């Protein structure tokens, strides 16, 4: 048995074009010279680091950050924000994070939740309902059981009876979410355990974008583990160039550039070619179908969604991925979601897209 996909957590690659697209979306800065490093890009400032188990990268205009002091202050503000969102709110690794405390409370008791957690839970519930449960953040017991979580369980195929027990713990309807002004309170009607990995990175991208705007940056590209939000333009005067990666682990090649004619663009991708294990010749992905309680098994390699926020794009990319190509396209067309699907066929990779994605091609 072989575990793959921890590449996303490895050291930063040397060249900017290879940076941080740990899943499937990545950005292009200078098509004419794909080997140039970001620091050598005229007028561009790249800030990067590690968060939420993956890499982040922020691109700004050099001119907007006048000196080393301003740069250091900005880096500090950004890393504090990310530390807060990761360790204080969304982490399932940190036992005292808000999410861990929510996971620990008994059924039938209420717990207060911050605006951050509330916002993500409300969005998660909306996508849960609209995707008929394909997207379900109460997936944690299964994620752990299959060895993709924060436990020491090695990735392996669990016993059927154990899978059935974990499956019985699923269901977002067991969560009562009450909004009280900016924050809220949550009650569990049965013991459910939440994993926000499929949506929290997108939310954090939006939060960083908002932070940068508050600080007066009208041109930025923020990316965490392949989830992206961009505003304005690259210093070369063109809109930021964002692409979809060819869904092959370790390759990091462009599959499709996304046409960007807007001031603001949010893009997220859900892929199954980085994080998986192989057992007896069969590949098991970290994306789990709540209906079967098994990792999805299809020729679909990645789903990319363009939406009004990176949080929405992130959640829907996972939801459509779980739904599969046919149902995913139907759902995306019904809901007018801009979605791009890459399938591994006998004739190589094949792309499909929803109607709303056409303007981005």
Sites of contact with Mg ion (CB under 5 A): 198, 270, 314, 317-318
Please identify, using beta-carbon distances, which residue of 64 and 196 lies nearer to ligand AMP: 196
Q: Which of 23, 46, 307, 339 binds ligand AMP (CB under 6 A)?
A: 23
Indicate the residue whose CB is closest to Mg ion.
Answer: 318
Q: Which residues inside 195-254 make contact with ligand AMP, applying CB under 6 A?
A: 195, 197-198
- Give the pair of three-digit tokens for residue 110: 């209420």
In the 8-state DSSP scheme, what is residue 12? Answer: P
The dihedral built from the CA positions of residue 348, 27, 353 and 292, taken in this order, carries a sign that is positive
The dihedral built from the CA positions of residue 228, 339, 234 and 20, taken in this order, carries a sign that is positive
Which residue stretch of 6-14, 36-44, 204-212, 311-319 sits at the interface with ligand AMP (rule: CB under 6 A)? 311-319
Are 266 and 320 in contact by the 8 Å Cβ rule? The answer is no
Which ranges of 25-184 does DSSP label H, i.e. alpha helix? 68-83, 98-104, 115-130, 140-145, 160-167
Q: Which does 51 bind (CB under 5 to 8 A by kind): Mg ion, ligand AMP, none?
A: none
3-state secondary structure of 37: coil
Please identify, using beta-carbon distances, which residue of 172 and 265 lies nearer to ligand AMP: 172
Q: Which does 306 bind (CB under 5 to 8 A by kind): Mg ion, ligand AMP, none?
A: none
Give the whole-angstrom CA distance, residue 307 versus residue 233. 18
C-alpha dihedral, 330 to 316 to 184 to 53, nearest 10°: 160
CB contact set of 341 (below 8 Å; sequence gap of 6+):
300, 302, 303, 320, 325, 328, 329, 351, 352, 353
Q: Is 51 in the site for ligand AMP (CB under 6 A)?
A: no
Q: Which does 45 bind (CB under 5 to 8 A by kind): Mg ion, ligand AMP, none?
A: none
Q: Which of 290, 293, 301, 339 binds ligand AMP (CB under 6 A)?
A: 290
Q: Which of 98, 116, 136, 245 binds ligand AMP (CB under 6 A)?
A: 136
Count of positions on this chain that bind ligand AMP (CB under 6 A): 20
Q: At what angle do helices 115-130 and 310-323 cross, to 10 degrees?
A: 30
Paired with 228 in beta bridges are: 223, 267
Site string for ligand AMP, 157-196 (x = CB under 6 A): --------------------------------------x-
Smallest separation, CB 39 to ligand AMP (Å): 29
Smallest separation, CB 81 to ligand AMP (Å): 20
For 50, half-sphere exposure in the C-beta direction (CA atoms, 13 angstrom radius) is: 7
Please identify, using beta-carbon distances, which residue of 126 and 236 lies nearer to ligand AMP: 126
Q: Which residues inside 80-109 make contact with ligand AMP, applying CB under 6 A?
A: none
Give the whole-angstrom CA distance, residue 214 versus residue 210. 6
Please identify, using beta-carbon distances, which residue of 131 and 219 lies nearer to ligand AMP: 131
Enumerate binding residues for ligand AMP (CB under 6 A): 23, 135-137, 139, 143, 148, 195, 197-198, 270, 286-288, 290, 314, 317-318, 321-322
């Amino acid at each position: 048995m072989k575990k793959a996909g921890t590449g996303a957590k490895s050291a930063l690659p040397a060249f900017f074009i290879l940076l941080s697209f740990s899943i499937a979306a990545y950005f292009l800065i200078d098509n004419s010279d794909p080997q140039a490093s970001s620091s050598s890009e005229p007028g561009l400032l790249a800030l990067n680091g590690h968060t939420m188990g993956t890499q982040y990268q922020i691109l700004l205009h050099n001119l907007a950050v006048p000196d080393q002091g301003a740069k250091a202050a900005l880096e500090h503000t950004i890393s504090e924000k990310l530390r807060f969102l990761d360790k204080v709110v969304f982490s399932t690794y940190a036992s005292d994070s808000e999410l861990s405390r929510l996971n620990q409370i008994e059924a039938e008791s209420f717990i207060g939740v911050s605006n951050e957690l509330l916002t993500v839970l409300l969005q998660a519930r909306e996508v849960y309902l609209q995707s008929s449960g394909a997207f379900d953040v109460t997936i944690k017991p299964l994620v752990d059981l299959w060895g993709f979580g924060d436990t020491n369980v090695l990735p392996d195929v669990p016993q059927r009876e154990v899978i059935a027990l974990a499956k019985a713990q699923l269901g977002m309807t067991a969560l009562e979410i009450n909004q009280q002004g900016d924050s809220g309170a949550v009650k569990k009607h049965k013991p459910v355990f939440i994993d926000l990995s499929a949506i929290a990175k997108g939310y954090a991208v939006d939060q960083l974008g908002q932070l940068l705007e508050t600080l007066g940056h009208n041109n930025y590209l923020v990316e965490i583990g392949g989830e992206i939000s961009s505003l304005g333009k690259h210093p070369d005067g063109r809109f930021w160039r964002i692409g979809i990666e060819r869904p092959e682990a370790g390759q990091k090649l462009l599959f499709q550039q996304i046409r960007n004619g807007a001031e603001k663009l949010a893009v997220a991708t859900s892929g199954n070619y980085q994080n998986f294990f192989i057992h007896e010749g069969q590949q098991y992905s970290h994306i789990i179908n709540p209906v079967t309680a098994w990792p999805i098994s299809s020729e679909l390699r990645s789903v990319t969604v363009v939406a009004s926020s990176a949080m929405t794009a992130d959640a829907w990319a996972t939801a459509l991925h779980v739904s599969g190509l046919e149902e995913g396209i139907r759902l995306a067309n019904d809901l007018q979601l801009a979605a791009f699907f890459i399938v591994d066929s006998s004739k190589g990779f094949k792309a499909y897209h929803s109607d709303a994605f056409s303007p981005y091609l």
